[in-house]
Structure 1
Amino acid sequence: MGLFQYEFMLRALVGALVIGLAAPALGIYLVQRRLSLIGDGVGHVALTGVGVGLLLNRSPVIAAVIVAAIGAVAIELIRERGRTSGDMALAILFYGGIAGGVVLVGLSSNRSNAALMSYLFGALTTTSRTDLVTIAILGVVVLIAMIALRPALFAICHDEEYARVSGLPVRALNLLLAVTTAVTVTIAMRAVGLLLISALMVVPVATAQQVTRGFVGTMALAMGLGLVAAGSGVWLAGTLDTAPGATIVVLAITMFLLVAIGTATWRTLRRRALPVPATELEPPDVVLKH
């Protein structure tokens, strides 16, 4: 644990742990709504915010939060229409976001490819104290909102029409999910990068779903797996001198594969161990004549 005697590694660890908790807590709702890739789309839009911040010599994080929130709300309103044209509009929004970000970063005074890559794939070890405070505050806000509003958010994810009939403010809750997605993506760009955050939202949830049945249990296990992947990823990246964001995602996917193989093996062994009922040895509609 000698790596964490350095302040920048401690900041990286704390920032990663916050993201590791908050991302799956939000991601479980996105998975339930079959919006697993929305984090990727919002990340594309957030890059334009980064470019705006760099071009205007303002905080890229704050600018990215604002632009990503606007983009996420636009995505939700387009999704609400439920038309084929909405898919085309989303595609234009996503690709326009990343293209606009690249152009704006190129026009800014900080034109280096390193600056662009740090936002696309993360630069956790360069997290400053200001970045850490921003990540911690916004991450805790997202975490509290996802846990405190769990019954209402679960209702709209499970059956939106029933939630509307029950009197829940469906549109407001949908917009809340959109904005918190934007916030999570933006604060995570320092940890795992705009192009990888969607994996940290989805993969721990997919892993937990293989071994749990209830929503609460899945949510708790997904947050735990996200925490383990984030903490272990920072340590392993520091030990092997690899990119922290990519290492965290690789560990999360490795856990998914191990659990998938383990559960599949367990089910196969269990089926072989169970005796075959006598009625299943011969189809009931087969009649043997003497």
Structure 2
Amino acid sequence: MLEILGSEFFQRALIGGVLIGITAPLIGIFLVLRRLSMIGDTLSHVSIAGVALGFLVGVYPVAVGLLFAIAASFAIEKLRKAYKTYAELSIAIIMSGGVALASILFTLGKGFNVNVNGYLFGSIYTLGNIDLVTIAIVTVVVLVAMRTQVKELFLLTFDEDAAAVSGLPVRFYNVMISVLTALVISASIKIVGALLVSALLTIPAACSLIIARSFRQTIFAVVIIGELAVVFGLLIAGVWNLAPGGTIVLLLIAILLVLILFKPGLRTGS
């Protein structure tokens, strides 16, 4: 254990994991409450297409993936407005496009498929200084946005029509949430992988909804649960030589199952 903690690669992994353990669940709670849980899967698949293009043209893959995710977030909002009654269509359409584009880029650049696997399933032990700086910047942006706009986001999340009537620029805040989600997903891909990143967005939120009695408690609970899963998941993966991303997600599921099992006791305070 001490040997692992003293390793530079593990320390970088721990720093990156702790930062994402704050931002991903924090954004995730707003997505879950707005019934947009699947947007994480959609943007992560589009990000992988950007990562593949980055490898193909020799540009920092996470940066290209980020640009793709942001573009996809704008496209989702546009389609949500076009299909107001069937808003989930926007998510399905963009996800299909992201998977299709990624498959084509994989075919064009077969030589980098091994590297891309790290982005599909996570490669937290390979985080470099540039990755950590990127994750840190995303964390600061998300925390500042949440701290300064929490009241507006609360109103938008629970009653979008009332928010619009009160004069809140609903479209701006919808786009802001989508862009913040794209930032977090792009920064998370090397930690848990594109195929698992939605779990870090949604499962802590599912856990917090069981134990929290107010929105403020939900915010605190979702971050604490995310951090516990990331830190202990990394430690377990390091000691037993397991896949870090998969270990973190399975630990989150285990926490959720325990909370569901003891839900009556938690609710009554007994």
- State TM-score, norm by structure 2: 0.94
- 2:198 corresponds to 1:198: yes
Counterparts of 2:81 and 2:89, CA distance in 1 = 14
User: 2:40 maps to which residue?
Assistant: 39
Q: CA deviation at 1:80?
A: 2.6
Query: How far has the Cα of 1:90 moved from its partner?
Result: 3.5
**Aligned ranges 1:240-251 → 2 under 5 Å:** 240-251=240-251
In the alignment, structure 1 residue 185 sits paired with structure 2 residue 185 = yes
Partner in structure 1 of residue 97 of structure 2 = 96
Q: Deviations over 1:43-84 (max 9, x none)?
A: 111111111111110011110111110001111221233446
Q: How does 1:92-171 map to 2 (within 5 A)?
A: 92-108=93-109, 110-112=111-113, 114-171=114-171
- How far apart in 2 are the matches of 1:268 and 1:138? 38
Of the two, which has the highest radius of gyration?
1
Q: Which residue of 2 aligns with 1:57?
A: 58
1:215 aligns with: 215
**What value does the CA root-mean-square deviation take over the aligned residues?**
1.9
Distance in 1, Cα, partners of 2:86 & 2:169: 26
Give the whole-Å Cα distance in 2 for the aligned partners of 1:254 and 1:108: 38
Deviations 1:155-208 (A, max 9, x none): 111111111111111111100001011111100001111111111111111111
Q: Among all aligned residue pairs of Structure 1 and Structure 2, give the percentage whose two residues are the same amino acid.
A: 39
**What is the deviation of 1:264?**
3.6
1:203, 1:252 within 8 Å by CA — same for their partners in 2? yes
Letter in 1 for 2:254: T
Superposed CA deviations along residues 88-121 of structure 1, whole A, max 9, x for unmatched, are 4532321221231132133237433x32221111
3-state SS in 1 of match to 2:172: helix
User: 1: distance between equivalents of 2:42 and 2:193?
Assistant: 13
Counterpart residue number, 1:175: 175
**Matched length:** 269
**Structure 2 stretches of 5 or more lacking a match?**
none
CA–CA distance in structure 2, aligned partners of residues 266 and 152 of structure 1: 30
1:25: which partner in 2? Answer: 26
1:71 aligns with 2:43: no
Q: State the distance in 2 between where 1:108 and 1:143 align.
A: 37
Kindly indicate whether the alpha-carbon contact (under 8 Å) linking 2:207 and 2:222 is maintained by their aligned counterparts in 1. yes
Opposite residue 81 of structure 1, the aligned amino acid is A
Residues 54 and 109 of structure 1 are in contact (CA less than 8 Å); yes or no, is this contact kept in structure 2? Answer: no
Give the counterpart letter for 1:212 in structure 2.
Answer: A
- Shift in Å at residue 234 of structure 1? 0.9
Instruction: Say if 1:50 and 1:105, in contact at 8 Å, map to a contact too.
Output: no
Which has the larger displacement, 30-39 or 260-269? 260-269
Offset of 1:266 from its aligned partner?
6.0
Distance 1:115 1:214, change over 3 A: same
Write the distance in 2 (CA, Å) between the matches of 1:43 and 1:226: 19
Give the match's secondary structure for 2:191.
coil
8 Å contact kept, 2:52–2:102: yes
- One-letter identity of the residue aligned with 2:262: G
Native 8 Å contact 1:204 1:222 kept in 2:
yes
Letter aligned with residue 213 of structure 1: R
Distance 1:209 1:161 in 2: 23
